[in-house]
Amino acid sequence: QKEVEQNSGPLSVPEGAIASLNCTYSDRGSQSFFWYRQYSGKSPELIMFIYSNGDKEDGRFTAQLNKASQYVSLLIRDSQPSDSATYLCAVNPLTGGGNKLTFGTGTQLKVEL
């Protein structure tokens, strides 16, 4: 079983709709969870992180965490064509020194006009 799993997509949504991206993780001891966005040919950049159960909102983005179900999601409201990218879920498993992020394979999102 992979440590962090995401549906590779592509996930296609119409402009203005809500995009829902999902991620599951295997390490129950994981403490913090990150969503990165990666445009084609570019490096990943952080959208937001979450470490408490429940929802965390930042503008059009909402991260949701359910530690009991080992599930984290990202909702993008009012999706725009500029949101078309690959979204990477990352988990800090809290093992060893430092924070060693483990990434999922990413979900490709396409927002269509």
Partner 1 sequence: DVKVTQSSRYLVKRTGEKVFLECVQDMDHENMFWYRQDPGLGLRLIYFSYDVKMKEKGDIPEGYSVSREKKERFSLILESASTNQTSMYLCASSTRGLNTEAFFGQGTRLTVV
Region near partner 1 per CB under 8 A, out of 10-18, 59-67, 70-78, 103-111: 103-111
Asked whether position 103 contacts partner 1 by CB under 8 A, the answer is yes
Nearer to partner 1, 40 or 69 (CB): 40
Q: Cα 18–49–66 angle (5° rounding)?
A: 70
Say how far apart CA 66 and CA 55 lie, in whole Å.
9
- Number of residues binding to partner 1, judged by CB under 8 A: 26
Sole binder of partner 1 in the list 51, 60, 67, 71 (CB under 8 A) = 51
Sole binder of partner 1 in the list 19, 21, 88, 91 (CB under 8 A) = 88
Sole binder of partner 1 in the list 7, 26, 32, 70 (CB under 8 A) = 32
Asked whether position 61 contacts partner 1 by CB under 8 A, the answer is no
For the record, the structure tokens of 66 come out as 């359910």
